[in-house]
Amino acid sequence: MSAHVWKLKNRILEWHERPLLAGVLNVTPDSFSDGGRYLDPEQALDRALEMEAEGADIIDLGGESTRPGAALISAEVEIARILPVVRRLQGRLTIPLSIDTWKADVAVAALDEGAEIINDVSAGRWDRLLWSAVAQYRAGYILMHALDQPATMQKEPHYTDVSGEILDFLAKFLARAEENGLALETMVCDPGFGFGKTLTHNLTLLRDLAIFQKLRRPLVVGLSRKSFLKLIGGSESLEITNELAHVWAAARGAAIWRVHDVPPALRAARLAGAFGRGADTA
């Protein structure tokens, strides 16, 4: 299976012209970026449809904050947050719906209602039933590296070789997921910017991003509004810093960008696509 193809239950995502955009929609009171803004299911519905109209290729819905220091919540609370939104999106959203969760019960509840992707920050480590749930539904799966759970992941993170260690981690857990019933063509990988990484770690990962093409699976990057980019460019210049980082990542193989602001990301993605086509666009 090509590294430019991602197989979901009911469709296949392919891309050649530009990176795909996964629009972030948090229905949480405490997410670092948009916590509290879309707790009302009708507002969340409107926001999802707005991002689709703006050019998003995927909507990534989350009911539990994964910001540094965030406490875990129960599956029951998470389901109560996301399910009203998932149900409202049925028959309205034409692009795939992704659910940002590491819990099997949450995944099953959402997949039962039509979600097509599970975005798992834990790489299957925090709920041993998750992989079997994803495999049962033949859903798309995002396998991400995080050093630890959100409450503790930023407490003195240490690596000897951050890029090499994360590459090895993703390769190992791709193989384990396959052994547990997930088809390779249903999986994509995310190195987990900001999840147990210092400023230096994040910049090193960004510099070395091309090595993750060795995995031969599409690569997701979550750079949008990350604090390390604010440290570099300042909050007032975050939009341009974000899009410069996105274009840099695309040139090194990043196929999917997880974004909060779709219009500027779409402009940058089109630019990255034009760069990739080179002189043929003239």
- CATH of residue 39: 3.20.20.20
Q: Is the dihedral of CA 267, 215, 198, 31 positive or negative?
A: positive
Highest mean predicted confidence (pLDDT) among 27-31, 62-66, 117-121: 117-121
Query: How many domains, the chain?
Result: 1
Q: Is the dihedral of CA 199, 200, 201, 206 positive or negative?
A: positive
**Against a cut of 0.85, is the pTM above it?**
yes
Residue 11: inside a domain: no
Residue 2: inside a domain: no
Residue 237: inside a domain: yes
Two tokens, residue 137: 């539904």
Residue 186: inside a domain: yes
Q: Provide mean pLDDT across the span 55-79.
A: 90
Is there a contact between 26 and 64 (Cβ–Cβ < 8 Å)? no
Residue 220: the pLDDT is 98
The residue among 36 and 246 whose pLDDT is bigger is 246
Residue 6: inside a domain: no
Is there a contact between 63 and 54 (Cβ–Cβ < 8 Å)? no
Residue 280: pLDDT band with limits 50, 70, 90: very low
Is 70 exceeded by the pLDDT of residue 258? Answer: yes
Please list the active-site residues. 226, 258
For residues 63 and 247, what is the distance between their CA atoms, to the nearest angstrom? 29
Is 80 exceeded by the pLDDT of residue 97? Answer: yes
Parent domain of 120: 19-276
